[in-house]
Amino acid sequence: MSFYNTKYVCSYNDSDVFLESELEVLNEDEQYFVREALYRRDICNIFNIEDQCFEENLISNNISKLYKIINSENFLKCFITKISNNLFYNSDLELGFMVLFSFDYLYLVHDCISEFIETNKISENNKSLIKLKKILL
């Protein structure tokens, strides 16, 4: 699957994004701004968007293509259904799937999807899956 980079490691949500000295001088808004820029870089790298330009339409199209490939994964369906019902009060599962690529969940769902693409399953021991369960279920 050439449009999805399973080997990429997200960094926007890592605890070591900032040095301690940076945390002392950057306020929360400034830290969020940096993390948001890193998130955009991460999602572009995940979807192999070479020019690193955050193109929402291209990203949305890639998420839709990915949804068609993995929508049979029952464990992900559980999360997708929960998000769709809680946030949008409907059962549009593709829309719920898109939410999993938002700032709040990308770092977790990427690991799960990468494992699924590489092994055709998501193991119960997947640390990101365990964290997603705690957040969403």
Residue 52's pLDDT is what? 62
Q: Who's near 1: CB < 8 A, 6+ residues apart? A: 66, 69, 117
Find the mean pLDDT for residues 37-62: 88
For the chain, domain boundaries:
20-136
Q: Across all residues in the chain, what is the average pLDDT?
A: 88
Q: pTM for the complete prediction?
A: 0.85
Q: Which residues of 68-88 are buried (b: 16+ CB within 10 A; e: fewer)?
A: eebeebebbeebbeebbeeee
Residue 8's pLDDT is what? 96
* Backbone CA torsion sign across 22, 131, 88, 10: positive
Q: What one-character DSSP code corresponds to residue 102?
A: S
